[in-house]
Amino acid sequence: MNLSDFIEGCERISNFTNKVDIHNLISDLKKINESQIERENDEFG
């Protein structure tokens, strides 16, 4: 399982809650994931 899949799962679960901290966590995870993808592209591309 990669981080993108994990984030998608979290987003599905977050649709059932209105807790702000969960939505903040997901947006933080997305930022981490995007920067990780960019770093990998820099290394291999």
Quick check: 45 pLDDT over 80? no
pLDDT at 28 (0 to 100): 92
pLDDT tens figures, 10-23: 888 888 888 888 88
Task: Supply the pTM of this predicted model.
Answer: 0.64
pLDDT tens figures, 22-33: 889 989 999 999
pLDDT at 30 (0 to 100): 92
Give how far Cα 1 sits from Cα of 4, 7, 9, 20, 37, Å.
8, 10, 11, 25, 15
Domain residue limits at 36: 3-44
The domain tally of the chain equals: 1
pLDDT at 27 (0 to 100): 92
